[in-house]
């Protein structure tokens, strides 16, 4: 893996100056074109051994390019807001928008590599993490990002020489610490772990570029050239490269599906409802106040046809919680900042801290529902979304966040009745628009999309609960009960 | 202050139910109208004595209104990301956008009041804080926000009775803690401090509404009614109420101003430049790595006519810092999320943490430069901006952030030369647009705006440095030197 980076590459100053002159102009040009077109973001990971020249190279890139359109994220110990959320959250937060170059000094690889060296992570755990990172990067690439991962390598001797040189110069002596010399001792172990990590995560869509770090000129020039070439190629590319996807599922030939199997006639009397409501609201209120909940969080997703009763159900849930503990996120059209990011970004923003609850009124499932049906994204986009969504929810689950998803199902007659009622009640008129009537005409297409969605994204960790919602009382109790039972399970009660 | 809130207001259940029925419909209607028009945000502060019913009332508002378009921010101890920035930062972060209602459970008043009770804050310090908060709220109001501040009052006896009642109910007993009983002892002190705070901050644009907290029905109904009435009034208001402002300064009659006083012929030889550059870059590099800098931060602002050399100057500064330590914020048109907030919001977002540097390439001064000249905001808006900007920078200074502002001045001939050069150099062509040529025609208007700006916003804490920039070398050294000297002062070196 690192052999060709130990050949002792060197570039003399004269050649360097000549090459840099051309490269700078080319890089600036590519950077401005990127900014103007704003078609994709460039994600640059700078990793490698200590003393390998990471910060020097980043600083050189800043000299060569227009620093106003570069950003660098340095990740050291997580802040408490970061530590309270899934590990990927802080990297999502730092992603560059389309049109910009974002440099990650320290990346999603740093902690797994360090943990493996210190034996805090087993080989198996590391491999599972790497598989997740590959999927994360594939998602970024599919969303259009150009991803370049640099690894600056030094042999043990070269690393030693480097530390000595830094120490001898009074301007850089501060950079060599006791920890630096300690790293020298784990050099072999780092090579083993990094070699493995690079092998597993060296994908066509997010390649590793191993660079000999010992010569400043060589390292900077190579990094700059690779960056320029990759940007240039992607700028002229007409069509985004995409992963091949299998064709969509054929419609069920016997007309039976998970939704038609629901018995929508189920209902509750007012009396039973009131009793059950008090019971489950009380239970929920205790559960979110339970000391163990402080180490968890809750994400609720509400989907369903228009007028299925999502708002009313949400109101019954919030009725048993303190308003300071939860946020409701009504999902409408994305803002322009959100449109400049991968589509999951606008949901990652709202991932709750430990001890908190986020309720999504419509959600990331819009990708496989409205965006699929209305053709707002390509078939490739919504087909790959199933796996990406499962990965997202897996991340949440892994950090102790309970995820529950509700599909509220009503029949067309009931919808019509509710639409009319809304039109007749003054303060409900805001809740019904032309669009609702148009969506109604696409009932079958939405139904098919919903069935595919349930089939492909109902997982043990993040199950779909299908709710018979013709009777609002029945639906609300079913939802409250499901949340309580799930929380009891997650809290181990 | 609290007399009428101790009269023992009570509303019986029957009356309550009847009133609520009407109020709910009215509140929902107002809420939807607010959302549709998205003309202004509603900021609701819920404060008061412990046991006064703050969380109960918030929860009732969630029941009555559509919870999807409400948000509640609970502020307890600052997170480490918050503690690293000026105290107001976390409240800016939580402001609702236009069209939404944001409830603050615990607000910018909580900490000053608590600190005064515990004698961590002197009377004088409290008064200074209150004056700042009044100005902050005036800014919000001028930006269109509807601000309502509720104070739920309880007499000492009523508070005691309330704690007893909560304790007796197994569903609420958890809410009464040792601290609650301790609060009873400081009841008198709280009344004194709160009485003073309410008096000083009871402004026409952000009034306090003192509510008797002892009866649930009365408290909820009063809060809901006040909220509804205020929203309703502001929704029908045709013109935004504004503060009277004095007319703008007359142009200088003798033609002399701070910019014409500059000697633009100053220059440096290449040799002197190289020597000075190495010297000041070295110094800056040491200063931002100084242990004392970890308790400070640095904000640099660059303004000037087009092609004045802002980018090049910024590049010389970043050249002496580590890319992981700073962010450059190039200021262009606001995003739609930014447009839904007060204009300073998009700069508060980028306030650096301790030990970090943020460089603004154009800034909040756009308000009194381009927005004034092009008529993008009203005269009232840019006239009040001077004071608002001074307050903003004062907040930064108060939390140890060094603020330095550079105005780069060139003459029209030099600008023309640079424009032409840009058009002729392939990779610089991106830097010149039609707009640059148009702005050039408004040279005098921009010049007047710049002079007014310097006169009104150059403060001891955040001075303007006027930079003679016809010679790029001279300009860059002057800037680097000014930053170093300022940092030495701030760090006490």
Which two three-digit tokens encode residue B163? Answer: 């704690």
Torsion angle defined by CA atoms of residues A303, A305, A309 and A311, in that order, rounded to the nearest 10 degrees: 50
pLDDT above 60 (res B248): no
Mutate to test the interface with B, among A27, A67, A357 (most CBs of B within 10 A): A67
Q: What are phi and psi of A364, to 5 degrees?
A: -60, -15
| Closest B-chain CA to A361 | B68
Fold match, A3-236 / A270-490? yes
Q: Which residue has the higher pLDDT, B371 or A424?
A: B371
Gyration radius of chain A's alpha carbons: 27
Closest Cα of chain A to B416: distance in Å? 22
The angle formed by the CA atoms of residues A449, A451 and A454, to the nearest 5 degrees, is 110
| Residue B315 near chain A (CB below 8 Å) | yes
One DSSP character per residue, A178-205 reads HHHHHHHHTHHHHHHHHHHHHHHT-BTT
Nearest-CA neighbor of B27 among B72, B69, B56, B55? B69
Inter-axis angle of helices A310-318 and B54-64, to 10 degrees?
170
Considering only CB atoms, which chain A residues are within 8 Å of B323?
55, 58-59, 61-62, 70, 72, 103, 105
B430/A324 touch (CB, cutoff 8 Å), yes or no: no
Is A288 an interface residue toward B (CB < 8 Å)?
no
Architecture of domain A3-236: 3-Layer(aba) Sandwich (3.40)
| Interfacial B residues in 44-63 facing A (CB < 8 Å) | 55, 58-59, 61-63
Domain B270-490, CATH: 3.40.50.300
Q: Is the minimum CB–CB distance between B81 and chain A shorter than 8 Å?
A: yes
Determine whether the interchain pair A318/B62 forms a contact, defined as Cβ–Cβ distance below 8 Å.
Answer: yes
Q: What is the least distance, in Å, from the CA of B46 to any CA of chain A? A: 12
Do A324 and B72 count as a contact with CB atoms less than 8 A apart? Answer: yes
What ipTM was predicted for this assembly? 0.83
Say if the Cβ atoms of A330 and B25 lie within 8 Å. Answer: no
Q: What percent of chain B has pLDDT over 90?
A: 72
What is the pLDDT tens value at each position of chain A, 493 positions in all? 787 777 778 899 999 999 999 999 999 999 999 999 899 999 999 999 988 999 999 999 999 999 999 999 988 889 999 999 999 999 999 999 999 999 999 899 999 999 999 999 999 999 999 999 999 999 999 999 999 999 999 999 999 998 998 888 877 787 888 888 888 888 999 999 999 999 899 988 899 999 999 999 999 999 999 999 999 999 988 655 555 555 555 556 667 788 988 999 999 999 999 999 999 999 999 999 999 999 999 999 999 988 999 999 999 999 889 998 999 999 988 999 999 999 999 999 999 999 999 999 999 999 999 999 999 988 888 988 998 999 999 999 999 999 999 999 999 999 999 999 888 876 677 777 888 888 888 999 999 999 999 988 998 889 999 999 999 999 999 999 999 999 999 999 9
Structure tokens at A381: 């986009």
Preferred mutation among A60, A68, A171, A301 to probe B, highest tally of B CBs within 10 A: A68
Specify the pLDDT at position B251. 55
A248 in B contact zone (CB under 8 Å): no
Which residue, among A72, A31, A75, has the nearest Cα to B326 in the 3D structure? A72
Cα separation, A302 vs A362, in Å, equals: 5
Q: Do A328 and B55 touch (CB under 8 A)?
A: no
Q: How is residue A418 written in tokens?
A: 């509710």
- pLDDT average, residue stretch B386-402: 94
Is residue B249 over pLDDT 70? no
Per-residue pLDDT reduced to its tens digit, B282-307 = 999 999 999 999 999 999 999 998 89
Contact of A285 with chain B, judged by CB distance below 8 Å, is answered with yes
Residue A426 touches partner B, C-beta closer than 8 Å: yes
Locate the chain B residue with the closest alpha carbon to A105. Answer: B324
DSSP state at residue B52: S
Is the pLDDT score of B5 beyond 90? no
Contact B328 A67 (CB under 8 A): yes
Chain B interface, mutation test: which of A69, A324, A326, A429, most B Cβ atoms within 10 Å?
A: A324
Contacts of B61 in chain A (CB under 8 A): 323
Task: Take residue B128 and report the two structure tokens written for it.
Answer: 């200074």
Residues of B in contact with A330 (CB under 8 A): 68-69
Give residue limits of the domains in chain B: 3-236, 270-490
A351 SS3 class: coil
DSSP letter assigned to residue B328? E
Other C-beta atoms lying within 10 Å of the C-beta of residue A275: 13
Q: Where residue B262 falls among pLDDT bands split at 50, 70, 90?
A: very high
Interface test with chain A among B77, B302, B324, B432, by most A beta carbons within 10 Å: B324
Q: Looking at the complex, does the CB of residue B379 fall below 8 Å from at least one CB of chain A?
A: no
For residue B336, list chain A residues with Cβ-Cβ distance below 8 A: 335-337
Interchain contact, B59 vs A328, CB within 8 Å: no
> Distance (Å) from the C-alpha of residue B251 to the closest C-alpha of chain A?
35
Q: What is the pLDDT of residue B28?
A: 94
User: Residues A72, B324: contact at Cβ < 8 Å?
Assistant: yes
Q: Taking Cα atoms as reference points, which of A301, A485, A492 lies closest to residue A406?
A: A301
Contact with chain A for residue B328, Cβ under 8 A: yes
Q: Position of tokens 């001797």?
A: A157
- CB-based contact, B21 to chain A, within 8 Å: no
CA angle B131/B132/B134 to nearest 5° reads: 65
Q: Which of B74, B311, B315 minimises the CB distance to A324?
A: B74
Contact A322 B55 (CB under 8 A): yes
Can you tell me the distance from the alpha carbon of B404 to that of B284, in angstroms, rounded to the nearest whole number?
14
CB-based contact (8 Å) between A232 and chain B? no
pLDDT of residue B61: 95
pTM of structure: 0.87
Distance (Å, whole) CA A327 – CA A321: 11
Between B196 and A175, the more confident residue is B196
In this prediction, residue A237 carries a pLDDT of 80
Torsion-angle region of residue B53: left (phi > 0), alpha (psi -120 to 50) or beta?
A: left
Min CA distance, B442 vs chain A (Å)? 26
Instruction: Work out the average pLDDT over B109-138.
Output: 94
CB-CB under 8 Å, B319 with A63: yes
Nearest to A335 among B58, B336, B431 (CB): B336
CA of A59 to nearest chain B CA: how many angstroms apart?
A: 6
Q: Give the pLDDT of residue A33.
A: 93
Is the predicted pLDDT of residue B346 greater than 80, yes or no? yes
Strand partners, A328: A359
Q: Flag whether residue A77 sits within 8 Å of chain B, measured between CB atoms.
A: no
């Amino acid at each position: 893996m690192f052999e060709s980076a130990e050949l002792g590459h060197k570039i003399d100053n004269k050649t360097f100056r000549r090459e840099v002159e051309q490269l700078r102009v080319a890089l600036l040009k590519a950077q401005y074109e990127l900014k103007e077109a704003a078609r994709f973001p460039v994600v640059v990971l700078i990793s490698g051994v200590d003393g390998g020249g990471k910060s020097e190279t980043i600083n050189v890139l800043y000299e060569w390019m227009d620093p106003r359109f570069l950003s660098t994220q340095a990740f050291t110990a997580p802040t408490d807001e970061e530590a309270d959320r899934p590990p990927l959250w802080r990297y999502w937060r730092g992603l560059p928008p389309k049109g910009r170059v974002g440099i990650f000094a320290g990346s999603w690889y740093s902690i797994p590599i360090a943990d493996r060296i210190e034996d805090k992570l087993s080989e198996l755990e590391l491999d599972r993490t790497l598989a997740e990172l590959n999927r994360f990067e594939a998602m970024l690439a599919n969303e259009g990002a150009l991803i370049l991962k640099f690894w600056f390598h030094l042999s043990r001797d070269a690393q030693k020489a480097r530390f000595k040189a830094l120490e001898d110069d009074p301007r850089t002596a501060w950079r060599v610490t006791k920890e630096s010399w300690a790293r020298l001792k784990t050099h072999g172990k780092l090579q083993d772990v990094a070699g493995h990590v690079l092998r597993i995560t060296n994908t066509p869509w997010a390649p590793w570029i191993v660079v000999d770090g010992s010569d400043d000129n060589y390292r900077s020039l190579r990094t700059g050239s690779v960056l320029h070439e990759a940007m240039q190629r992607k700028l002229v590319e007409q069509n985004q490269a995409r992963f091949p996807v299998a064709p969509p599922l054929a419609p069920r030939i016997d007309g039976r599906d998970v939704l038609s199997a629901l018995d929508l006639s189920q209902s509750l009397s007012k009396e039973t409802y009131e009793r059950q409501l008090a019971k489950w609201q009380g239970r929920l209120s205790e559960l979110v106040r339970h000391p163990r909940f402080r180490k968890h969080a809750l994400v609720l997703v509400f989907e369903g046809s228009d007028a299925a009763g999502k708002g009313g159900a949400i109101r019954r849930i919030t009725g048993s919680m303190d308003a300071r503990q939860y946020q409701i996120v009504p999902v409408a059209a994305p803002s322009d900042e959100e449109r400049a990011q991968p589509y999951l970004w606008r949901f990652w923003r709202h991932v709750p801290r430990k001890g908190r609850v986020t309720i999504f009124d419509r959600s990331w499932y819009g990708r496989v529902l409205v965006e699929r049906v209305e053709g707002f994204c390509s078939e490739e986009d919504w087909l790959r979304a199933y796996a990406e969504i499962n990965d997202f929810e897996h991340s949440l689950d892994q950090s102790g966040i309970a995820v529950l998803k509700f599909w509220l199902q009503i029949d067309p007659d009931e919808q019509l009745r509710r639409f009319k009622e809304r039109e007749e009640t003054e303060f409900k008129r805001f809740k019904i628009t032309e669009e609702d009537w148009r969506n109604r005409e696409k009932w079958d297409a939405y139904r098919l999309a919903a069935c595919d969605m349930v089939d492909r994204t109902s997982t043990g960790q993040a199950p779909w609960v299908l709710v018979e919602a013709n009777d609002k009382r029945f639906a609300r109790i079913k939802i409250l009960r499901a949340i309580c039972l799930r929380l009891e399970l997650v809290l181990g009660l």
